[in-house]
Amino acid sequence: MERKASRVTGGTATVVEIGGIRIGHDPFPVIAGPCAVESEEQMLASAHAVADAGAAILRAGAYKPSTTPYGFRGLGRDGVKLLAAAGAEVGLPVLTQVLEAKDAEETVDQVDALEIGSGSMQDFELLRVVGRLGKPVLLRRGASATLDEWLWAAEYLLAEGNENVVLVERGVRSFGGGGSDMLDITAVPHLKELTHLPVIVDPSHAAGDAIRVQPLALAAQGVGADGVIVEVHSSPSTAKTVGPQLDADSFILLMASLGIHRLRGDIDQVDHQIVRLLARRQNLALEIGRVKANRGLPIYMPDREAELMVMIEKEAERTGIDPGHVRALFQLVLSESRRQQQIMRAAEEA
């Protein structure tokens, strides 16, 4: 049987839009927020923290699954309202996990997407109801689900006519993993072959500790995931739930390491990178200079420089900046490079 979730050869990948954010298209959107909505103050503080650092979507839990019957079960409806209000205040779309069909029905109008948790991946009635609601859905993998079982669960949503499904890898049960479920990073390229649906990674649970969230998020970016979900709390040490959550500062560092910055920080960052690249270029040029010296070649090689200029101007045109401006810049760069090589030759001959 042909499944709707299957990737068709030559077919296009699905882009899921959540409040203007396009999962599967935008460069590595980060979904962030606290594990649970605990209070208006905590929700707002956490929302500002993630928005300021460049998160694309705000996420927090109002209906919480609890392993024990005596644990915190979330603020429910009231939690959803606080989440929606916080999203409005910081200008981010919002999403939240639903456990039961009735949660989904009472929540759907207040959020930009719904999330189905790991423990509900095969709650087929919930899948059917959420499929019919039509809102974008994040579908987490069950802790021991095979990729095939996961894609069948997605098929339940697609079969109801809902094509806006994002798969979330969050780790699978294993003897390893240092006490946590083990992040199945290999699932990402496998899914890219099997399905047209976007795939994101939630590293928090598998990380076991906040300190490991950043390397795992970078692994997810490296492996080609379409984004990550990160749990961020304005005050992790006082949180009502036990999983690892980043504080605001750690989240900023994570975002920086992922190459995501807000405007002002961005331009500073880019300038830093330009300078570092110029330095690297100079070292490479000096190294080539040494080779030229050994072989008795001249420092100035007009053909090579001309060739370089052609290449650079083409790249400038391609990326949309003024070729003349870039040419001027690189003439400066090349002239400095020749000057450094002369200094070097002189030093070696001395």
Taking CB under 8 A as the criterion, the residue among 1, 8, 346, 347 binding a second copy is 1
Taking CB under 8 A as the criterion, the residue among 180, 204, 234, 241 binding a second copy is 180
Does 294 contact a second copy by CB under 8 A? no
Q: At closest approach, how far in Å is the CB of 10 from a second copy?
A: 16
**Measured at the alpha carbon of residue 282, what is the angle toward residues 281 and 285, in degrees to the nearest 5?**
85
Residue 80, C-beta contacts closer than 8 angstroms, at least 6 positions apart? 37, 62, 96, 106, 107, 110, 111
- Which C-beta is closer to a second copy: that of 41 or that of 306? 306
Scanning residues 196 to 235, which ones bind a second copy (CB under 8 A)? 206-208, 211-212, 215-216, 218-224
Q: At closest approach, how far in Å is the CB of 177 from a second copy?
A: 6
State the number of binding residues for a second copy (CB under 8 A): 102
- Which C-beta is closer to a second copy: that of 43 or that of 51? 51
- Which C-beta is closer to a second copy: that of 118 or that of 234? 118
Taking CB under 8 A as the criterion, the residue among 9, 12, 67, 237 binding a second copy is 67
Q: At closest approach, how far in Å is the CB of 123 from a second copy?
A: 6
Task: Identify the H or E element spanning 17.
Answer: strand 16-18
Residue 14, C-beta contacts closer than 8 angstroms, at least 6 positions apart? 24, 163, 164, 165, 196, 197, 198
How far is CA 14 from each of CA 163, 194, 280, 301, rounded to the nearest angstrom?
A: 8, 13, 39, 50
| Per-residue contact string for residues 91-130; x = within reach of a second copy by CB under 8 A | --------xx------------------xx-xxxx-xx--
Q: Within 10 Å of residue 335's Cβ, how many Cβ atoms?
A: 11
b/e per residue, 57-77, with b = 16+ CB within 10 A?
A: bbbbbbbbeeeeeeeeebbbe
Scanning residues 331 to 350, which ones bind a second copy (CB under 8 A)? 332-333, 336, 340
**Measured at the alpha carbon of residue 298, what is the angle toward residues 294 and 299, in degrees to the nearest 5?**
95
- Which C-beta is closer to a second copy: that of 302 or that of 320? 320
Does 274 contact a second copy by CB under 8 A? yes
- 272: alpha, beta or left? (left if phi > 0; alpha if psi -120 to 50): alpha
Does 263 contact a second copy by CB under 8 A? yes
Scanning residues 17 to 56, which ones bind a second copy (CB under 8 A)? none
Query: What is the C-alpha end-to-end distance of the chain, expressed in Å?
Result: 78
**Measured at the alpha carbon of residue 249, what is the angle toward residues 244 and 253, in degrees to the nearest 5?**
90
Taking CB under 8 A as the criterion, the residue among 143, 256, 299, 344 binding a second copy is 143
| Region from 8-16, 77-85, 132-140, 282-290 binding a second copy, contact rule CB under 8 A | 282-290
Q: At closest approach, how far in Å is the CB of 81 from a second copy?
A: 21
Contacts 24+ apart (CB under 8 A), 259-265: 259/28, 260/28, 260/30, 260/54, 261/54, 262/52, 262/53, 262/54
- Which C-beta is closer to a second copy: that of 44 or that of 159? 159
Give the 3-state secondary structure of residue 23.
strand
Taking CB under 8 A as the criterion, the residue among 184, 235, 247, 292 binding a second copy is 184
Does 301 contact a second copy by CB under 8 A? no
| Region from 29-37, 46-54, 244-252, 329-337 binding a second copy, contact rule CB under 8 A | 329-337
Structure letter (DSSP) for residue 61 = B
Does 277 contact a second copy by CB under 8 A? yes
- Which C-beta is closer to a second copy: that of 242 or that of 328? 328
The amino acid that residue 77 corresponds to is R
